[in-house]
Structure 1
Amino acid sequence: MPYLLFGCGCRLMPPFFFPPRLVRMIRPASTLLLALGLLVGGPAYAQQPAAPAPVKKTDQPEKPRKLTRREKKEMQRQAALEAAKSQQQSQLTEKDRELSAAYFVDGVKFMLLEDYPKAQERLLKAYQLDPNNAAINYKIAENNLLIGNLKDAANFAQAAVRLDGKNPYYYLILAQIYASQKQYSEAAQVYTKLIQDVPDSKSYLFNLAELYLAQGKLTDALGAFEQAEKEFGPMDEVSFKKQQIYLKQNNLDKALLEGEALISANPDEVRYVLAQAEMYAANNRLPDAIRVAQQALRKEPDNPQAHMILADAYRQQGNATESEKQIKQAFESPALSIDQKVRILVDYLKQLPNPAVQHTALELADITTRVHPKEAKAYSVAGDVQLLSEQKPKARENYLRALHLDNSHYKIWQQVVLIDAELAQSDSLLRHTDQALELFPNQASFWFYNGVGHMFAKQPQKAVRSFEQGKKLTSTDPELAAQFDTQLGDAYHELKEFDKSDAAYEAALTFDANNAQALNNYSYYLSLRGKNLPRAKEMAGKLVKLFPENDTYLDTYAWVLYQLKDYSGARQYLEKAVRTSKDGTVLEHYGDVLYQLGDAPAAVERWQQAKKAGGTSALLDRKIKDRKLYE
């Protein structure tokens, strides 16, 4: 059977997916003064580049390198931009510069207070005075991102990057804006430019790799991770990512090599050993899976995941004994969570009733309740296993334990009540339906079984009250209403309220003309009363056509024929019924028919058999004693 194996790999959260509140945290409150300094302290750069390294002196000056066409074009663009900025700065009066700075600081303050409309108003006023200030463009982009205006956010972020190509924060917010719109290709281009143009920004290779993964560009993601490893050295989480990429590329050998490298670099980390064992098992390399899982057990003898891997591998090899041993050892560990155990037991439930797995399923269910005695779901799933294994009393016991820990589960109450009804234990059925109705007073099914419990206890008046109450809740379920009518027919008959009984049966048959219980009981009770016998014969005749081998229905039809004085016909059906039935009523009826046909010795013999079987009429002893029929 399939066991559920659980991987131990971790997922790197993509750093570019900042929630809105985290965006604001990029700039704490203390940045108000910094922002002011950026605005009034010269050209609008939010982050000044590092000072150039000193030129190394040599005996002869180096010959200038000829610039490429692309480099010349970029220099011309930068020169034009600087000229425009210088012109704009020169046009700004000192008063305008101070006013722009004041608006900017106010805008940042309102952003921190989450008053984004006021922040937008102040920042745009700052922008009108100083549109080429990268910091102002950046904050307007951030504010637009926070209010969901992504188009404007992208435009201002692009401007910030264009105005100051050395500040990583400007690239980051632009990439975030693209990523939030699932424009991963554009976001990747931004990260690529950031890594190329901004010093000390190689750490963003991880963001770039995640973006490539989001697009399904596995080769590009792999390249980004490998470039990051060249910069920062091997990293465990990166190795896991590379493993996943190799597996998606069906390159098992490289994935396994990454795993072996992880194990070598982290000899005390069992999770890496387990991940390697799972990889072998998932690719049907069972001897290797067993070897590596056993290696994990040498480090942690009670590790449940290692036992699960071994159980699955041995099962696939056909070694059922060893597989069962390993899975039991896994279940004995509290480290294997109750949810994992429930999932595994659900796999067994799908195979029950199957003698090949039933014993193991029952043992695992017992272990689960023993190891997790305070988990309602442990007892619930154990009850399910036992119910499907035909161990109904034990199943009910575990369901009740589950309800003791958590009584809010309707379906568990339903299982308890159904078992009570199947076992015909009226005391338990009444107690449990009363408890269930306190919690679920609008559930018709509990009123139904409460009425059944009263019928078992020979309390028809109470049964009628429960059935009538439950029927009120079935306005949208005519099938369930018909079941209530059938039970009401029985209950009213016991109360000798025959008109109500007949009406209830007729209502049930109006919905379903083949309702077996209604057809049988209604026709039989009519025959006992000697009322409307043609209708009784019609219903009982339909029943034996539908179920020609059912001894109860054969007896009902025979008794209707008996009341119609068709003794030969009654004998024909009773002879067929007694071939399989040992019911006292059926045997007594057969004796009555034989007596009517003139065979008194045979009739007495059948009456005597009926007495041994039990469940007969009060007249049976007189019939036997006097060797004659009494009715």
Structure 2
Amino acid sequence: MQKSFIKLLFFSIISCHIFNTQNLRALVPYYHFPDAKHLEQEALSIGKQAYQLLYFGQIKDSLNFAKLAVKINDKNENLWLILAEAQTANELYEDAFNSLNNAQKINPKMSEIYFAKSAIYLKQAKIKKAKISLELGIQIAPENFNAIFQLGNIYLMEKDYEKALKEFDKAIEIKKDFWQAINNKGLAYYELNNINLSIISFKKAISIEENAEPLLALASCLSIKDINEAIFLAKKALIKEPNYVKYNYRKEQLWGEKLQNSTEKLFENNKLKEEIFIARTKIN
């Protein structure tokens, strides 16, 4: 009975379409198919949402949104770049490289593509490739002080301290109050046994930003000349950032062996025992 009714309904709809199309249109909803410009705008909106999700740490949702944005519009290099960042956050490095290559085909003069590749290479500990990508990006955007700073950091990793200093100076020339570059000059000077210039660099960095890193680094520099001042600065640094109590954390911040050894000796001082214990407790 039900099958017969469905058949009857089906044929009545067909006949209605054949014999009375005007009436049928009143029952069927009208769909508007968006044009290319509207789709592009929609893709950009979704891409923006993907980037916001990435910023707030929702990396899986960000990846899904970024994929959708590229699916709607695969001719926009910025959307490919956002997708690459989401893929990198999800540790999908090969997928990220593919996305960056697609962006590069669209716009080979986009410096951010080379900087993003460099960041991935660094995560993979491919230092030489990271340096090449950075240099290519800097050729396109020679005023990008962050990229120049990162190139200096790579030279720190390679223990090429003279070249690191040159890059940090270039970055500071563009951005005078770039305390991170000033601080890292101090790191390089210390490994070159130029303690006085290290002290000057760390003090200058602190005058711009009283950050835990230059505070502790300066404490290490002063540990032989003025132990009381060194202890005061070290306590202040560990309160600001307890992670600096860890050797490996300082290594991640590109501290060289000489500065590391000086800091370890400073931490042996009995007057720092309580602060070191509290710092380790906070980390755990």
Confirm or deny: 8 A CA contact 1:575 1:590 kept in the other structure: no
Partner of 2:217: 556
Checking the alignment, whether the CA contact within 8 Å between 2:202 and 2:214 is kept in structure 1 is: yes
In the TM superposition, residue 493 of structure 1 has moved relative to its aligned partner by: 1.7
Give % identity. 16
Distance 1:601 1:518 in 2: 28
**Which of these two proteins has the greater Rg computed from alpha carbons?**
1
1:460 matched to 2:131: no
C-alpha deviation, 1:497, in angstroms:
2.1
Partner residue, 2:143: 479
Contact 2:238–2:276 (8 Å) recurs in 1: no
Deviations 1:42-82 (A, max 9, x none): xxxxxxxxxxxxxxxxxxxxxxxxxxxxxxxxxxxxxxxxx
State the Cα distance separating 1:489 from its structure 2 match: 0.8
RMSD over aligned CA atoms reads 3.9
Q: 1:515 aligns with which of 178, 198, 216?
A: 178
In 2: Cα distance, 1:487 partner to 1:496 partner: 14
| Alpha-carbon separation, structure 2, partners of 1:491 and 1:506 | 15
- Mapped contact 1:522–1:536 kept (Cα < 8 A): yes
Question: Relative to 1, partners in 2 of residues 1:539 and 1:409: Cα closer, same or farther, differing over 3 Å?
Answer: same
Gap change, CA 1:391 and 1:471, over 3 Å in 2? closer
Gaps of 5+ in 1: 1-267, 269-298, 304-333, 343-374, 615-631
Which residue of 2 is the match for residue 536 of structure 1?
198
1:606 to 2:270 alignment: no
Q: Which amino acid aligns with 1:545?
A: S
Deviations 1:514-546 (CA, angstroms, capped at 9, x unpaired): 21331222222433x153222222222222222
What is the DSSP-based 3-state SS (H/G/I as helix, E as strand, rest coil) of the residue aligned with 2:239? coil
Q: Deviations over 1:179-228 (max 9, x none)?
A: xxxxxxxxxxxxxxxxxxxxxxxxxxxxxxxxxxxxxxxxxxxxxxxxxx
Contact preservation (8 Å) 1:448, 1:470: yes
Alignment counterpart, residue 48 of structure 2, candidates 384, 387, 390: 384
Quote how far apart the aligned CAs of 1:483 are: 2.7
* CA drift at 1:590: 7.0
Could you say if the C-alpha distance between residues 498 and 530 of structure 1 is closer, same or farther in structure 2, counting changes exceeding 3 Å? Answer: closer
User: For residue 118 of structure 2, what is the amino acid of its counterpart?
Assistant: G
Cα 1:336–1:516 change in 2 (3 A) is: farther
d(CA) in 1 for partners of 2:45, 2:106: 22
RCO higher in 1 or 2 (8 Å CA, sep ≥ 6)?
A: 2
| Deviation of the 1:403 alpha carbon | 2.0
Alignment of 1:162-173 (within 5 A): none
In 2: Cα distance, 1:460 partner to 1:405 partner? 35
Report the Cα distance in structure 2 between the residues aligned to 1:494 and 1:519, rounded to whole angstroms.
Answer: 17
- Are the aligned partners of 1:454 and 1:462 in contact in 2 as well (CA < 8 Å)? yes
TM-score (norm 2): 0.67
Identify the match of residue 70 of structure 2 among 392, 403, 407: 403
Provide, for residues 567-586 of structure 1, a one-character-per-residue CA deviation record: whole Å limited to 9, x for no partner.
32232222122224231247
Contact map agreement 2:222 2:230 (CA 8 A) in 1? yes
Q: Which residue of 1 aligns with 2:266?
A: 593
Measure, in 2, the Cα distance between the counterparts of 1:426 and 1:434.
Answer: 14
Structure 2 residue 81 is matched with structure 1 residue 414? yes
Gap change, CA 1:582 and 1:511, over 3 Å in 2:
same
Structure 2 SS opposite 1:578: helix
Q: Does 1:446 align with 2:106?
A: no
In structure 2, C-alpha distance between the alignment counterparts of 1:490 and 1:558, rounded to whole Å: 22
Aligned partners of 1:492 and 1:429: how far apart in 2?
A: 25
Compared CA separation, residues 337 and 565, structure 1 to 2 (3 A): farther
Residue number in structure 1 paired with 2:232: 572
- Matched residue pairs, number? 242
Compared with structure 1, are the counterparts of its residues 515 and 418 closer, same or farther at alpha carbon in structure 2 (3 Å cutoff)?
Answer: farther
Partner of 2:108, secondary structure, is coil
Query: C-alpha deviations, 1:94-152, integer Å up to 9, x for none?
Result: xxxxxxxxxxxxxxxxxxxxxxxxxxxxxxxxxxxxxxxxxxxxxxxxxxxxxxxxxxx
Secondary structure of 1:407's counterpart equals coil
CA contact (8 A) 2:218 2:233 kept: yes
Deviations 1:327-361 (A, max 9, x none): xxxxxxx846658xx7xxxxxxxxxxxxxxxxxxx
SS at match of 2:140: coil
Partner SS, residue 579 of structure 1 = helix
Q: Which amino acid aligns with 1:540?
A: F
CA contact (8 A) 1:537 1:560 kept: yes
Indicate the residue corresponding to 1:138 in structure 2. Answer: none
Task: Summarize the Cα distance change of 1:576–1:533 in structure 2 as closer, same or farther, 3 Å threshold.
Answer: same
Equivalent residues in 2 for 1:425-444, closer than 5 Å: 425=91, 427=93, 429-444=96-111
Alignment of 1:178-217 (within 5 A): none
Is this contact kept in 1: 2:43–2:73, CA < 8 A? no
Mapped partners of 2:85, 2:263: distance in 1? 34
